[in-house]
């Protein structure tokens, strides 16, 4: 009788709160949230191949990439990344044991997907996680060569855009390096850049050939961040002030 009296408040509390979520369900929710966070980190409007997306996903802590479907983010429905994540929860104050589960989810990476889109629950396939080779190192930008070979025009002289373009062609640059040349107000600006990943500072060189001065420089770190406009030929002609 005494035991029933002790259990009565607990039973009334449980009934008043409705169905209590199990610790396994809570752990599964935590694993799902980890997959959702991975999808948010992979979200981007920049075109990428399945290899690039898979490599990025595999670099996220706690995420295993098990399968990739699709060839590129901007082809068809984009890329489905099947990931395995883990989540943990405690049984409760009566039995404070930690429960950990591993679950699989499909994360869609496409310009049509929404940021924070819910991952889909899927069965975990057999097999080991996929591995990805490190990305190729970007080519070195020829700072010294460019500074040595760009034409020097004396004060009062005229800068020849064609001469600048011939100098760049003679450098025999790696095809990955993008070049841009623009003439304006008697000066010629030059941009050499390699494609960035959309997150880290971009690699670029700027140069300006003016009567009496030929300059080559790397913009400050902050100006080379995505969206800052430091790696543009316009910044070579009219350099933005350095960040404070």
In tens, the pLDDT along 112-121 reads 998 889 999 9
Q: How many CB atoms lie within 10 A of CB 238?
A: 12
Q: How far is CA 244 from the centre of its chain?
A: 26
Confidence band of 93 (pLDDT split at 50, 70, 90): low
pLDDT average, residue stretch 134-158: 93
Query: What percent of the chain has pLDDT above 90?
Result: 70
Confidence band of 64 (pLDDT split at 50, 70, 90): very high
pLDDT average, residue stretch 80-102: 87
Nearest CA to 84 among 69, 68, 100, 103?
103
Query: What is residue 116's predicted lDDT score, i.e. its pLDDT?
Result: 87
The set of residues, in sequence order, having a beta carbon less than 8 Å from that of 214 and lying 6+ positions away, is 147, 150, 151, 152, 153, 207, 208
Query: What is residue 243's predicted lDDT score, i.e. its pLDDT?
Result: 67
Query: What is residue 23's predicted lDDT score, i.e. its pLDDT?
Result: 87
244 or 84, greater pLDDT: 84
Lowest-pLDDT range of 2-6, 36-40, 172-176, 218-222: 2-6
Nearest CA to 220 among 209, 235, 233?
235
Q: What is the mean pLDDT of the chain?
A: 88
Per-residue pLDDT tens digits for 173-229: 999 999 999 999 999 999 999 988 777 889 999 999 999 999 999 999 999 998 888
pLDDT average, residue stretch 30-41: 95
Query: What percent of the chain has pLDDT above 70?
Result: 89
Confidence band of 10 (pLDDT split at 50, 70, 90): very low
Rounded distance between C-alpha atoms, residue 97 and residue 89, angstroms: 8
In this model, does residue 16 exceed pLDDT 70? no
**Residue 36, CA distances (Å) to 27, 43, 60, 202, 227 in order:** 14, 11, 12, 28, 26
pTM: 0.60
């Amino acid at each position: 009788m005494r035991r029933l009296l002790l259990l009565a408040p607990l039973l009334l509390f449980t009934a008043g709160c409705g169905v209590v979520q199990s610790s396994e369900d809570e752990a599964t929710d935590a694993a799902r949230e980890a997959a959702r966070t991975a999808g948010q980190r992979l979200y981007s409007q920049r075109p990428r191949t399945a290899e690039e997306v898979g490599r990025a996903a595999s670099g996220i802590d706690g995420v295993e990439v098990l399968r990739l479907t699709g060839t590129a983010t901007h082809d068809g429905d984009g890329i489905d990344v099947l990931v395995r994540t883990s989540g943990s929860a405690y049984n409760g104050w009566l039995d404070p044991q930690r429960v950990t589960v591993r679950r699989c989810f499909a994360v869609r990476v496409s310009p049509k997907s929404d940021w924070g889109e819910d991952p889909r629950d899927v069965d975990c396939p057999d097999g080991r996680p996929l591995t990805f080779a490190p990305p190729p190192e970007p080519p070195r930008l020829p700072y010294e060569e460019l500074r040595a070979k760009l034409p020097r025009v004396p004060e009062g002289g005229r800068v020849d855009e064609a001469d600048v373009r011939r100098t760049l062609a003679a450098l025999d640059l790696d095809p990955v390096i993008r070049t841009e040349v623009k003439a304006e107000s008697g000066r010629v600006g030059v941009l050499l850049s390699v494609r960035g990943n959309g997150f880290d500072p971009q690699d670029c060189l700027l140069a300006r050939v003016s009567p009496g001065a030929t300059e080559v420089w790397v913009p400050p770190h902050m100006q080379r961040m995505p969206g800052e406009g430091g790696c543009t030929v316009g910044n070579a002609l009219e350099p933005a002030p350095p960040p404070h």
